């Protein structure tokens, strides 16, 4: 019997969206006992994402919430409303008898299937390295005798939890027991999303290191190049979904 992994993916319409979702779903299909919570940054569920999920073969929940226009600016944290909508869904649709692990899976990262084996046993909050992030090859928690004792990070090392969104998972019951733990808009500074959230639910000394005491990279903070549509001078004569 395996606790369900709830992967929360905020996503928004752009040229590469379906390609990103395809890459993700092909990984997630290899993960047993998996539930994908996809939250569109939009005013409604789009046809593209609805059809995509229906054909994916995955167990999923399809939500949407638009980011207010004033927050769509450089330097503003992304996908705050979408992650919070997913947390709200879990709090209303799951109960103390459900066992699960919650993970924030952005749509452009690269996930190893083994990562999900590692996070499956999360009791409270587990952590691991993330590759290609923070202006260096990797960031990771530093572990001594099974405890997190510090951080190897290239950026804003004095954050309470200097870790990327892809670097931790939370037991479902921790999410349910802390009903007010959410991602912050007001007062949140760039790069503080993870810290603002984690300090509401845990302490550094109780983090559970995974991935061989945080010595293996099983997830990469890849970013997809913006596509060149420079030759799109005329509208496609035949409209097909891309
Ligand atoms: N995202 C979103 N709306 C936006 C921008 C981003 O829902 O206006 C989603 C995006 O699809 C991804 C997550 O938020 O799942 C993080 O965005 P991005 O990968 O651009 O951030 P970065 O990698 O720069 O931290
Ligand atoms: Mn990204």
- What pLDDT shows up at residue 8? 99
The residue whose C-alpha atom lies closest to atom 12 belonging to ligand 1 is: 106
Q: Which residues line ligand 1 (CB under 6 A)?
A: 9-12, 41, 67, 72, 78-79, 82, 106-108, 223
236 known member of a binding site: no
141-159 tens-digit pLDDT? 999 999 999 999 988 889 9
CA-proximal residue: ligand 1, atom 19 (nearest): 108
State yes or no: 162 annotated in a binding site. no
pLDDT in tens, 13-48: 999 999 999 999 999 999 999 999 999 999 999 999
For ligand 1, atom 14, the nearest C-alpha belongs to 79
Give pLDDT tens digits for 57-78.
999 999 999 999 999 998 899 9
Nearest ligand, CA 104: 1
Q: What is the ipTM of this complex?
A: 0.99
By annotation, the residues acting in catalysis are 194
SS (H, E, C) the chain: CCCEEEEEEEECCCCCHHHHHHHHHHHHCCCCCEEEEEEECCCCCCHHHHHHHHHHCCEEEEEECCCCHHHCCCCCCCCHHHHHHHHHHHHHHCCCCCCEEEEECCCCCEECHHHHHHHCCCCCEEECCEEEECCEEEEEEEEECCEEEEEECCCCCCCCCCCCHHHEEEEHHHHHHCCCCCCCCCCCCCCCHHHHHHCCCCCHHHCEECHHHHCCCCEECCCCCCCCCCCCCCCCCCCCCC
Atom of ligand 1 nearest to the CA of 20: 11
Among the bound ligands, the one closest to the CA of 79: 1
Q: 105 C-alpha vs ligand 2 centroid, how far in Å?
A: 9
Task: Give the position, in ligand 1's atom list, of the atom nearest the Cα of 164.
Answer: 25
């Amino acid at each position: 019997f395996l606790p369900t992994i709830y992967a929360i993916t905020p996503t928004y319409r752009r040229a590469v969206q379906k390609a990103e979702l395809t890459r993700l779903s092909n990984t997630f299909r290899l993960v047993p006992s998996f539930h994908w919570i996809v939250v569109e940054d939009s005013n409604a569920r789009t046809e593209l994402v609805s059809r995509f999920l229906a054909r994916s073969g995955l167990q999923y929940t399809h939500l949407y919430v638009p980011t207010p226009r004033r927050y769509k600016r450089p330097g503003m944290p992304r996908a705050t409303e979408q992650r919070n909508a997913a947390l709200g869904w879990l709090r209303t649709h799951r109960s103390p008898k459900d066992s699960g692990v919650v993970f924030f899976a952005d749509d452009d990262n690269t996930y190893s299937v083994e990562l999900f084996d590692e996070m499956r046993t999360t009791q409270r909050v587990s952590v691991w390295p993330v590759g290609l992030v923070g202006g260096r090859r990797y960031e990771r928690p530093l572990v001594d005798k099974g405890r997190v004792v510090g951080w190897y990070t290239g950026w804003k090392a004095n954050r309470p939890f200097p870790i990327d969104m892809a670097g931790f998972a939370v037991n479902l019951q921790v999410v349910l027991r802390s009903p007010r733990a959410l991602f912050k808009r007001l007062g949140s500074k760039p790069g503080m999303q993870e810290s603002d959230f984690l300090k509401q639910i845990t302490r550094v000394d109780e983090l559970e290191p995974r991935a061989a005491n945080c010595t293996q990279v099983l997830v990469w903070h890849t970013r997809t190049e913006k596509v060149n549509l420079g030759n799109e001078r005329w509208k496609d004569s035949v409209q097909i979904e891309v």
